[in-house]
Structure formats: C-alpha cells, structure tokens
Chains A and B, each alone.
Chain A
Amino acid sequence: MTSTMVEGTPVTAAASLEAVDVAAWFGSSLVIDNVNLRMQPATVTALIGPSGCGKSTFLRVLNRMHEAVPGAQMAGEVLLNGEDIYAPGHRVTSVRQRIGIVFQKPNPFPAMSIADNVTAGLVLTGTRISRHDRETLVEESLTRAGLWNEVKDRLETSGSALSGGQQQRLCIARALANKPDVLLMDEPCSALDPMSTRWIEDTIRELGKTMTIVIVTHNLAQAVRVSQWSAFFLADPGEPGGIVEQGSTDQLFSAPQDPRTADYVSGGFG
C-alpha cells in the first residue's frame, strides 16, 4: 500500500475511513441509527441490503453530501485517517474533495468537453495547474477510469455524446482527478447495461488495489466480484436502518452469522 505505482502515478498510503455511531435524519424522521463501520485502507467495502434501508444515506454522510439535502441532519463521527470530518474547522468543500463520490446516474457536465469534465474539480476548487500538468492529469485520470483508449482522439468533444457506461467512467475519472483519499460509489452500475457494468467493475477492482473504495450495490453478485469487505444493512418497517452484519465478503456470503443475512444473500428477499 505504500508508494505503489499505478499508471505512473505515485500513490501514497491509502486512507482509512471509519464511521462511529452514525445516525442520520431527514427532517424529523430518523433513517439510519447506530452505524459503526471501519472501511479499511486499499479495500473495496460493499454496502448491501434491500431498498430503503439507508445505504445511500450512509454513503452520503461519509462525504458530507447528506447535508446538501434541505432538512438533513446527522449525529456521530466520521473519521478520515482518525480525524473527524464533521469537526468544526473542517470545510465541507475540502472534505468533499478528499472523499469523492460517483452517483447512481451518470452526471457529466453537458456543456463541457470530455477533458474539461475531467478537470472540472480543479476549476471548481480554484486550483491552478500548468497546461502540461493538465494534459497529464486528464490522461492519467481517464486511464485509471479505463476510458482513455476510447476517448483519447476526441477529448474536446462534449461529454454528453458518450454512451451511458462511458459517461459513468468519465464521472469516475472526474472524481479521480481531484486525487481523493477515498472514493464512494452509489450504485454506479444500476443504470448501465451488462457490458458497461463489467467495464466499471474492472475499474473498481483495479482502483481498489490502492484506494479505499466504498460501494453501495443492489447486485449481490457484484458485491462478491468487486469487494473484500461487506456490510449488510436492513431496516425493519418504521424503524431506522442499520448494519445487521459485517465481515469479509467471502465470510458474509458463505457463512453468514445472522439468519436475516443468510436469508438475504441466499435470495430469500430484497
């Protein structure tokens, strides 16, 4: 994990992310409660569970996107390398820079070219960069997202002209260009066809060797394919969601301890 090289980029030690006793509200309704999860460095952690159990909400708590929703509140701590990202003095903009997120629906900026989409984070955060460094960053980020070969000849064309799967990889490249410590993914493949899904999964596996990744997925097979650690979320009707069981992905899927987990991973419900 220390100073390995990925596509010519020195990567420093991957970051760890830990949620301590996290709860989250929308208005007055408590949607998750008592969530404790340690997301290991350079590991892909999958959050699985049926719809409406708070996985996406939890994911958004992890990089302070939760509070972008009007009326949203949280409690507990989220520690990035041991430091609470909600502590006073931590600016929300820099937290989001350090913990990137890829959303369910691909959302490239339609008015920007492919290259401009990749470097949008730099523009938005007012980071100046030389032209040469910019070209290097674009190539490096697109390569890491597995998109470089498909778009290298049309970097100045609009990002919205790409296919859905390519757009999603462009969004991954855009998040990577910010050099985040952690990458969050909220069902990144649910709007995509199987071929694109396969591409993205390859990308996630490759990135996961050096980066801390947290992925929400409804697709159990996908969780098995890409993740090393899994957490099973569940919400009883009328109750806030929370983690029922967590463990290494192999163990959670082959020998679940909780009968509800066993039921879910064997396709009993959800």
Chain B
Amino acid sequence: MSTSTPETLEPRQSRESRQLDPGFERSDRIFHKASTLIGLSTLVLTGAIGVFLGEQSIPTLSHYGLAFFTGTRWQPEIDKIGIASVLVGTAEVAFVAVCVAFPLAIMFALFISDFAPRRIKSSLISAIDLMAAVPSIIYGLWGFFLLQPKAMDLSRWLSQHFGWFFLFHVDTDPNAAVWQQSRYTSSVFIVGLAVSMMAIPLACAVMRSVFDLTPLGEREAAMALGATRWGVVRTVVLPFAKGGIIGGTMLALGRALGETAAVLVIISPAYGINFHFLEAGGQTVSALIAGNFGNATKAQLSALLTAGFVLFLITLAVNYGAAIVIRRSRSGAATEI
C-alpha cells in the first residue's frame, strides 16, 4: 500500500476493459447455438400458448367483463357464464390432493433416502416413478370403480363426526339407517384422492433428490453425537431440504390444478360455490373445458378458452414459484463450509 505512486492513485479513466475471446472450438460453437435455440424454443412455445389463449379470451372478456370472474353459473344457452364456482372447485380439488399427497410424498421420500435398505432403494424409486407414468385416465377409472365405494364410507364417517364443521357437512342425514349413498359419490373429496395419486410421485421425486443432497459431513456430525436416524432427519435433513419440500409440494399443486381426465371421469358436474367437499358434485376448470368443448359454439369455445387462460396463468405462477424455491434450496449457500 505504502509504495503506490501518485500515478496509480489517479482515477483510471483511460483504462478500458479488454475484449476477452473465449476461443470456442467449432464443435463448441455449434453445440452452443443448437442448445440456445432449443432452450429458447421452449420459451417461445409456452409464450405462444399464452398468447393464443389470451387472444381467444378477448371476445369473452369484453362481452362479460368482470362478471366472468364473479359469476357462478355456466349456462351459455341463457348467456350466463362465470368461472367463480369452477375456480373454487379447482382449488378445492387441488387442496384435497395436496393435503393427501404432501404427507405421503414426504414419508416415501424420507423412507427411500434415509431408512430403506440399500438393495431395495432403486426398486422403490422406480415404483414411485412408475406411478407418474400411469395415464391419468387409469387413475380416474381406479378412483371411480375401486376407490369410490371405499372412500364413501370414509366420507360418511367424516360427516358423521365432523359434520358440525361446514367443510365436512353433507346435506343429508349421515346417521340415517339407510344412508343416501348418492350424496357422497362423485365428490370433490374423491376426485382429490385420485388426483393426489398423480401428485405424489412428482412431489416425492423432488423431495427425495433434495434429501439425497444433504451433506454427508452434517449427517455424520449428527450421528457422531449419538443421534438416532430420526434425529439426523430432524436436525440435518429436513432443515437442509426445506426449499425442496416446499418446491416439490408446489409442483404437486400445479399438477393437481391442471388434472383433467381423472376429474372428468369421477365428478358429477355441478355449478355454484359449495365448500362441502364431501358432498356429491363439483367442477374444475380443466374438466369444464374437456366436458364442453365438443359441442360448443364459437362464442362458447371462446369462453372455455378464457377459463383455460385463467388456469394457465395460475399454474404458471405456481410452477414458477416452485422453481424459484427449489433453485434457492439447491444453491448450497446454507451448507458450504
């Protein structure tokens, strides 16, 4: 410091940074260009879908205005259209699905990363991944034919014991000697259970990969202090993976919001805001579109696409949020020593 001459203390106005040539090889340049192009094309595709949906929404939005968001009925024949009730229905299905998927996914993921014997670990991973590969229509049929008869009993039990709380209320006498089964079928609850089967593998995969990234040094530190396996999970793995847990759950939420086929199979369409999720009937945005676009007029199609546009924006926001949370959790800032 003490040896610096007056010249070096002058502001360096005359200095310009040099142009650095990274000197890519030809093959590098080709790969760089190709991957940039492909990377950009996914953005362009998503953007194009958004623009298409937005464009299609203009006639509907200008015709119905704000009433499109506040109206609860979907009766194009008398010109009454609103998505308030289907948005609520979509949120209810997603909520049920996430409530079921979250605990199961986190326990599957913890079992695989920390408790399962090593020799069955890879088979468990493939089994969970396979769950994601089953077509959603299959989950729909499974939900309708196998799950529903069983879940109905659970619905009735819940309404018997917790019916005093409005969410669990069903508009029939749950204690009747001959109970009205049809009041409990095709409900948001049963749809949510089926959809959770599709959300679990997604959430589980994200959580498991983050659990596996837990630094070995910290795991060993906890073990060396006399921690049980659960102690290691509680003090090291879960705090480390917080971001992955939140992010995985949000991805599962995004999946649940957009699920169509399973909902269409199980639910019996009903409009009107109804928070009794054990009760028969409901509707979601994607099932509304899938169920009605076939015999829709041009104006009705525009209305359906507007509903799709709203769902698109919601799902985009949820997934984007999830991506941010997951990226933060993997930065490793909290673990670097």
Within 8 Å by CB of B223, from A68, A70, A164, A174, lies: A68
Residues facing A in B213-252 (CB within 8 A) are 215, 217-218, 220-228, 231, 235-236, 239-240
Residues facing A in B172-198 (CB within 8 A) are none
Q: How many Å lie between the Cα of A114 and that of B139 in the bound state?
A: 50
With a cutoff of 8 Å between Cβ atoms, the chain A residues found around residue B239 in the complex are 111
Chain A residue with minimal CB distance to B239?
A: A111
A230 within 8 A of B: no
B334 within 8 A of A: yes
With a cutoff of 8 Å between Cβ atoms, the chain B residues found around residue A121 in the complex are 225-226
Asked if A93 meets B227 with Cβ closer than 8 Å, knowing A105-B217, A108-B337, A167-B337, the reply is yes
Q: Taking A103-B217, A111-B240 as given, write out 15 further A-B residue pairs in contact, using a Cβ cutoff of 8 Å, ordered by the A residue number.
A: A96-B224, A97-B226, A103-B220, A107-B215, A109-B221, A109-B235, A110-B334, A111-B239, A120-B225, A124-B226, A124-B227, A124-B235, A125-B225, A171-B221, A174-B221
- Interface size on B, as a range, is 20 to 34
Q: How far is the CB of B286 from chain A (nearest CB, A)?
A: 39
Q: How far is the CB of A214 from chain B (nearest CB, A)?
A: 14
Q: How far is the CB of A180 from chain B (nearest CB, A)?
A: 9
A106 within 8 A of B: yes
- Interface size on A, as a range, is 20 to 34
Are A110 and B337 in contact, with the CB atoms below 8 A? yes
With a cutoff of 8 Å between Cβ atoms, the chain B residues found around residue A101 in the complex are 224
A178 within 8 A of B: yes
With a cutoff of 8 Å between Cβ atoms, the chain B residues found around residue A97 in the complex are 225-226
A-B contact pairs, 27 of them (CB 8 A): A65-B220, A68-B223, A93-B226, A94-B226, A96-B224, A96-B226, A97-B225, A103-B217, A103-B220, A103-B221, A103-B224, A105-B337, A107-B215, A107-B337, A110-B335, A110-B336, A111-B240, A123-B235, A124-B227, A124-B231, A124-B235, A125-B226, A125-B227, A160-B336, A160-B337, A174-B221, A178-B226
Are A107 and B235 in contact, with the CB atoms below 8 A? no
- In this complex, the member of B217, B221, B236, B337 whose beta carbon has the largest number of chain A beta carbons within 10 angstroms is B221
B298 within 8 A of A: no
Within 8 Å by CB of A107, from B221, B227, B231, B334, lies: B221
Interface residues of chain B: helix, strand, loop or mixed (majority): helix
Q: How far is the CB of A58 from chain B (nearest CB, A)?
A: 16
Chain A 86-103, CB within 8 Å of chain B: the 1/0 string? 000000011011001101
With a cutoff of 8 Å between Cβ atoms, the chain A residues found around residue B223 in the complex are 65, 68, 96
- In this complex, the member of B215, B235, B337 whose beta carbon has the largest number of chain A beta carbons within 10 angstroms is B337
Are A68 and B337 in contact, with the CB atoms below 8 A? no
Asked if A106 meets B226 with Cβ closer than 8 Å, knowing A68-B220, A124-B235, A171-B221, the reply is no
Q: How far is the CB of A73 from chain B (nearest CB, A)?
A: 14
Q: How far is the CB of A66 from chain B (nearest CB, A)?
A: 11
Are A175 and B225 in contact, with the CB atoms below 8 A? yes
Q: How many Å lie between the Cα of A94 and that of B217 in the bound state?
A: 20
Chain B 253-292, CB within 8 Å of chain A: the 1/0 string? 0000000000000000000000000000000000000000
Q: How many Å lie between the Cα of A63 and that of B226 in the bound state?
A: 10
B118 within 8 A of A: yes
